[in-house]
Structure 1
Amino acid sequence: MEYTIIQYPALPSAYTAQKPGRRIDMIVLHATGGVKTGDLWTLSGRDRTHLVSCHYYITKLGEIYQLVQDKDIAWHAGVSFWQGESDCNRFSLGVELENLNTGRDPYPQAQLDAARWLVRTKVQQYRIPRARLVRHADIAQPPGRKTDPRGFPWESFVAQVYADVAPGPPPPPPSTPPTEEVLRTALLDAAYRRARHVYHPDWALHQYAIRERLGPPIVPLLRFRAENRDWVAEIYGVDAICSPVGGWQDIRRLSQLPDGELKRAFRQEVYRALGVAYHADWAFHQYADRNPIGVPLSESFRLTLSSGESYSAQIFSLDTLISPTGQWNTVIPLSQLLAASQLAPRDAELRDALLQRQYQRIGAKYHPEWAMHQAAIRWQVGAPLSNQERIEMGRVDYVAQSYGRDVLYSPEGDWGIVKRLSELL
C-alpha cells in the first residue's frame, strides 16, 4: 500500500535549516505522550513554549504528516549519543508516533502499517543499517532520561522493516561515550532541568551560553516583544541573552545592549521573570547596570547586626550589594568583603550574615566548613542558584550545586574534592 504524505510545515523557528548534502544515516522513533491536535501544534513550533520538532508524525489512524524536510535538522533527539557520536539530531530523521507513552496505550494496526511503510521507504532511500534504526530511549543521555516509545512492538517492527532488504555491513561494536562526556551531559541536563528548562545542544542560544561561559540557566525560555519584533530570551547566572524569532544566530546580551527600546523591554522582562521590580532611580539597580554582577535574585531586604546597625541589601547572581540604612548612594559589594585579608568584627559579621542569606534564599544553610562552599567563595562563582542535587552515574555518583557562574560538583563521599562544570566544557 502506498501512502500520501501530508505536508504540515513547521515554523522556521522550530528547526535548523541545513545546507544540502548532509549525511542521513539514522532513524529515531518516538512516542509523543499526547494526541494529534496538540502534537501537531507543538511539533510544528506553534506552541511557543516547547521548541521541539520532528520530520514525520504518524497518527493512530495511519495518517503521515511531514513537518520538517529531510534535508533540515529537526529538534527531536535532544541530548543523545549512539555508536560514538553525540547530538544525533545532526544526522537522523525523527519519526513521532501519536501515543500517550504509558506502555498501555495501544498502537493500532493502521498506525503500525503506516510507520512500517515510511520507515522502510527511508531505510531504502538512505541505506540505513539495522543498527541505526533506534528508539528515543536507546540514545537519550543520560540513560533512562527518555522511555519512548513505550509498549511499541519493537523487535517485530524492525524485522518487518528489514524483511527482504539486502543486509549491509555488520554494525560496529556498541560504544559508550567517554566518562567525562557523560558527566558533562548529566550536569548540563540537571542544570537546565532545575531551571524547568531542557538543554538542546543544537540551539544557538545554548551553544552561545556554553561558549561564552554564561553559567547555569535560572528560568525557562522567555518571550517578549520590542522594536516590532518577537524575541526569545534566556536568563543565565552571568547574563541574559536574546534573539529575534527566526534569527537565531543574532544573539544579544543584556549587559552589552545600548540604551533604547530593546534594552528597556528586555531588562523589564528579565526582572519580571525573576520576580523583582526594576527601579531606575535606585542606587543598587544603577550599580547593576554599570557593573557585571549578573541578574537580581531577590528584592532588597533589611539586615540588622548585633550592634543594632542596619543595612539594605539585594542579592544578584554574581554579587550581593549592601548600603548602610539612610546612605543609599553608598553601595558596597559583598565581593569586597570576601576579598579582604582582615576584617573588623562588624564587617565579618556582615559578610557572614549576607552569605547565610544567599543560602537561605534557596532553602539551604551556609556551612563555612564545607569544601564546596569554601570553593564557591575561592572561585568567586557568585550566589547559589539551587540546593545540592545527587547526579547518578553508576559506579561513582556525584553531588552538584548550581552557582551564578558555574556548577560545582563532588564525588559522593569524597567531599574534599570539588570540581567545576566549566572545566568539562
Structure 2
Amino acid sequence: MSEQLSIQWRAAASSASESRRGAAITMIVFHDDPSPAEQAIARWSARASTRSPHYHIAADGTITQLVDEARAARHSGLAKLGRVRNIDRISIGIVIEGAPRAARSRDQVIALRRLTLDIQHRHGLLAEAALLHWAPPRPGVAYGTLTPFTLPPLPEAPPVALLGAPAIDDTPERQRALWLFLQNETAARASGFNIGAAFHLHAAKHGFGAPIAPGSPRSAWLTVNGRQYNYQHFARDTAFNEGEKWAEVQTLSDLIAGNFPAPGTLAFELLKSSFNAGIAGSRTKNGNTQFNPGWAFHRTAAEQRLGPALSGSYRVTVDGQQYSMQVFCGDVLYTPIAAPETKTNWNDVRKLSETPPGPLSSLLWAEMYKASGVAFDPASPFHQAAVAARIGAPLTDAYQKEFQGITLTIQVFAFDTLYRVGNGPVRRQSQLALPPQVEQWKPKTATPPPVVEPAVTRQTTLPTGGFPMPPGDRTSPQWPPPPDFKPLVTAAQRQALFGAYEFVPDPSRDKDGIRILGSWEQENIVTVQIPQLIGRNIRGAPANGAIRWHRLAVNQLLRLWKAWEEAGLLDRVIIWNGSYSPRFIRGRKDDTADSLSNHAFGTAFDINYDPATNLNGLNAVPALVGQPGSVRELAAIARHFGFYWGGHFPRLDGMHFEVAVVQP
C-alpha cells in the first residue's frame, strides 16, 4: 500500500447516523468483523440499515468511509464507559475486517495506523486512553465492553539504516534528472525550482533546504541604511542581494556569523522577516508568534542555523512536567518550566534532536508534525530516516509520483527530501549528483552592506560641575544667547563638509521631498543608536534608539546626548521628530541646492515639536525655560558640541538642532 492515505466513499443509510448535538469527539472505537469487506459494506449501505461505522478497513488495506465524521455513526449500540452511555455521540467508529486476534496483513496494519494517526492528529486525541476496543455484550449483560486498544506495530518494518548512497546502477545523468525532479517537489510553500534563478542555484549549491516562502516582491524589499534588498527565505538560511544585483547573492548566516544581530541592522531585519514568513505558512499558529530578539529560543535558532519558526512558543505537559517549546525548521527547542516557587532558567534551551526516546520526545515530534499539518506516524520509515539524518521538520506528507515511468514515494523535509521506489530503501535527494548549473554556480562578489556605527564611539568628559550655563535671564525669550559660530546657510558650505550630490524633486512621500541620485547616501548615511532615546517614553522615538545620520558627525551627536544625560536634562526631551530626511527647507523659495535642508545631509534633528499646538514650531516663540517642551537648556549645552539651535534663526525654528562645526 502507498504511504499516501487513500479513502474511498460509500454512503451508509441515513438512518445509520444522527447528529452529535454539539458533542466533541473524544475517542476512537475499534470493532472486529469477520465478514468479507463487500458484504459488510453492503449491509451498512442498505436503505433499512440502522448501524454503521465511520470507516471500514479491509484485509487488503482498502479504507472505506461510510459516515461523515461530523455525524455520530451508530456503531457501538449498547455500550458505556463509566457513566457515559452514548458512546456513539463522542466517538469515531472503525471496523477492521477479520476475527478478533486474527493475524492482519501488512497493508491492513499500515492502513489502520495511518488512518488512526490522521484522526488523532486532526482531533487532538494524542492520549492512548482515547483508543478503545468494543466487544459485544456477554450473556446476561446489557452493555458491550470497551477496553483499551493498542495500535499493532508494523510487521517486518524496513530497517532504519536506509540512508546510503543511491543504487550503484544509477548513472550520473539519471541522478541529475532525478535531482531536478525532486527539487521541484520542494515547492510546497513557494514556486517550483528555477535553474536560472540565482537564489535557487545558491540555495541548492549550499544545502539551504526547501524554500519557506516565495522570493520577495519588489513591494516587500527591505530598506536598510538607504539600500534596498531583495531576498528569499529557505529552511536553513536566507539568500539576498542588493536591489537588482541579482548575481551578487549573499547569505544571512554570513551576516550573523554565530552572533545574534543588533536591532536595526540588515541581518536583524532579514531574520525578523524569515521568522514571520515561517509563521505565516504554518498550519497551526499556537502560542506567542511574535519575533522577540530577547528570547533564548529565537537567539539559539538564529545562531545555530535552525531556520525560521514554524509555530509560536507555547507550553505542553508531559508526566506532570511543563515545558515551553517552539518548532523551527531544523528542530524543536524547549525549556523545562520550574516549579512556582523557583525561577525558570530560560537559557536552558534543549533540542528535540538530542532528546532520548520517551514520552517527551514522542510528544515533541507530534507537535513538530502538527505545525506542518502532517500526520505523525513514529513507525513510518520516512520519519525514522529523517530522525537519523537530522533533516528537520516535515513539510509534506508522504505521497506518490511517477518519474520516468517509475513510481516514487516522496516526503519533503525542511533540510532534505526523502524518496524510495516501492518498498525499497529510503534515500536522500542530497546524495544525488547535482546538475552542472548548480555544481558550477558561483555568486559575484557583493558590495559590503553599510557599516553601522556602534552605539558609543567615544567617552564624554564633562568639565567639573558640568557645562556652565550662559549668563542672563533664563526666563527671557532671548536666552540662551547664540554661540560664537554661525550656521551653514549655503549649499557650498554644506557640501564642503559633508559632500555634494545630485538630486531631483520628489514630492511622492513629502511635498518638499527630493530623491538623491548616485551613491552619496549609501556612502555617507549610517545607522547610529542613541541609547538615551531607549525606554524613556519619548513620543515618536524609535524603540531601539536607531536613527540615520551622517558618518562624519556621529561622534559629536553621541557626545551631545550623553552630556544632556549627565546634566540631568533628558526629561526635557518629550518628543522625537526625526533626523535624516532628503528634502528641501520648508517653505523654500526655489529648487536649487541652496534650498536643501540640513536634514537632507543627515546633520540635523528635531525634538519637542507638537503640530497640534505648534509647540516649538516654525515662526513660533520657542517654549521658555520651565515651560513644558522647552529645549533652551539643551541648546545651551549643544553649542559645545558644534550644534546650532533653530531658536537663533531669523525665522524661529525651536525644534531644530543642526551641525554647524564638525568635531572629531
TM-score, structure 1 as length reference: 0.47
Larger helix fraction of residues: 1
TM-score, structure 2 as length reference: 0.32
Q: Select the structure with the greater relative contact order (CA < 8 A; seq sep ≥ 6).
A: 1
Q: Which structure would you say has the larger Rg?
A: 2
